[in-house]
Amino acid sequence: MTKINLTDLNFEQLEKEITFLNEPLYRAEQIFTSVHKKNVKSINEITAIPASLKEKLGRNYFILNLINAKITDSANSVTRKFLFETDSADSGQKNFIESVLISEKGRETVCISTQSGCNVGCEFCATGKMGFKKNLSVSEIISQIYEVKKLSGKNPSNIVYMGMGEPFLNYDNMLNSLKILTHPSGFGLSSKRITVSTVGFMGKIKKFADDLTSPENSSIKNVKLALSLHSTNNGFREKIIPTSAKNTLQEIYKEISYFYQKTKNKVTYEYIYFEDLNDTDNDVKRIARLLRMVPSNLNIIPFHKIDFELQKPLDAFNNKQDTKKLLSNKKLFDFIDKLKNEKVIVNLRSSSGSDINAACGQLSVDQQRIQNSL
């Protein structure tokens, strides 16, 4: 019998396992609290249960420990990047993932990954250039938070699913991780402090809205949605986000409207700024129309240099991007002013961690090189 990872189980799943073991249901809460609030590393560390139950659990269950391989600190002391090692269950091959802690404005935000690599292949993203390695298990998703908390001594106040990978292509594990993180007997984070980002897939945003508003999922009802938009022009967007060819903006917009009508949760649009490519007057008009559809805001993100040659139409940015210069770029601020004149709520995101390749679009690991060096 294959052993079951206790960290993978949401509360209801754990109750079923406890019932199967002919143990009283209150043991489920004791175990769940030990794993997700106290973050024990082994079954023997669960102090609330008797030795007989520990022995029983030890035969068929275990608790995952991600292995921390490296911590890198940004020069500004705001950002820390964590490299974790994880094993592929089917092949035993080592895989690596990255997580980021951003400490600013009184918040401790952990940016977590849902895949090792990514199978979307966005032209501007280093993770997409890695290719797809594996979907992360529930335990591998949430253990990033537990390990960052332990290693940094910081108590996470916000979680963003914006690390390596596309959350909606690992949907079930992503959703279960949300249920665990927001359960009051576990990590207990308010769902208002969690954001899930996606490039947009037909049917998935609608399903997400339905799942958030399902009566049995009340703890996750306020999770926010962020759409990686980057362009309101279908043709340009298809060139930089390959999956958008089958997931058109027209259909995604319909699902965004459904999401808001169903959840009443405000939507965020992420928009990497590419000078002279997605900052025209027509872009301003289309963005303004889009943001009038539902309560929402636009986050403008500087494009961060990556260690790959960009293809058309982004090839002009090869080795030329300087974030410091961009943040004083008159065209960028003219673009922002035009959006504000259209009553668009727009924020210019900082580039915390770009010096350690921890900013948006920079997460990437050379799996073989790292494995050989460990």
Q: Is there a catalytic annotation at residue 360?
A: yes
Cα(58)–Cα(51) distance, rounded to whole angstroms? Answer: 10
Residue 273's pLDDT is 93
Q: Is 161 helix (H, G, I), strand (E, B) or coil?
A: strand
**How far from 233 is each of 162, 191, 332, 338, CA to CA, in Å?**
23, 32, 18, 18
Query: Does 361 have pLDDT greater than 80?
Result: no
Cα(46)–Cα(215) distance, rounded to whole angstroms? Answer: 31
Whose CA is closest to 216, among 249, 182, 248? 182
Q: Is there a catalytic annotation at residue 125?
A: no
Helix 138-152, helix 171-182: angle, nearest 10: 50
Residue 328's pLDDT is 63
Mean per-residue pLDDT for 109-131?
Answer: 91
* Phi, psi (degrees; rounded to nearest 5) at 19: -65, -40
Query: Does 152 have pLDDT greater than 90?
Result: yes
Residue 349's pLDDT is 85
Query: Does 365 have pLDDT greater than 80?
Result: no
Binned at pLDDT 50, 70 and 90, residue 291 comes out as very high
| Range with the poorest average pLDDT among 72-86, 143-157, 223-237, 323-337 | 323-337
Percent of the chain with pLDDT strictly greater than 90:
75
- Residue 11's contacts (CB-CB under 8 Å, 6 or more residues apart) are 28, 29, 32, 179, 180, 183, 185, 186
Please give the residue that has the higher pLDDT: either 130 or 340: 340
Binned at pLDDT 50, 70 and 90, residue 313 comes out as confident
Please give the residue that has the higher pLDDT: either 14 or 73: 14
Query: Does 324 have pLDDT greater than 70?
Result: no
Tokens encoding 230: 């980057």
Tokens encoding 103: 């400490």
pLDDT digits (tens, 9 = 90+) for 211-262: 999 999 999 999 999 999 999 999 999 999 999 999 999 999 999 999 999 9
Query: Does 371 have pLDDT greater than 60?
Result: no
Q: How many CB atoms lie within 10 A of CB 285?
A: 13
Cα(269)–Cα(254) distance, rounded to whole angstroms? Answer: 15
Cα(133)–Cα(127) distance, rounded to whole angstroms? Answer: 11
Tokens encoding 349: 């995101």
Binned at pLDDT 50, 70 and 90, residue 362 comes out as confident
Binned at pLDDT 50, 70 and 90, residue 1 comes out as low
Q: Please, what are the domains in the chain?
A: 4-62 (1.10.150.530), 67-373 (3.20.20.70)
Average pLDDT, the chain: 91
153-173 burial, b at 16+ Cβ within 10 Å, e below that, comes to: eeebebbbbbbbbbbbbbbeb
- Residue 22's contacts (CB-CB under 8 Å, 6 or more residues apart) are none
**pTM score, whole prediction:** 0.93
Residue 348's pLDDT is 92
Cα(308)–Cα(325) distance, rounded to whole angstroms? Answer: 21
Task: Name beta bridge partners: 62.
Answer: 5
Catalytic residue among 15, 23, 98, 123: 98
Query: Does 88 have pLDDT greater than 60?
Result: no
Catalytic residue among 111, 118, 125, 360: 360
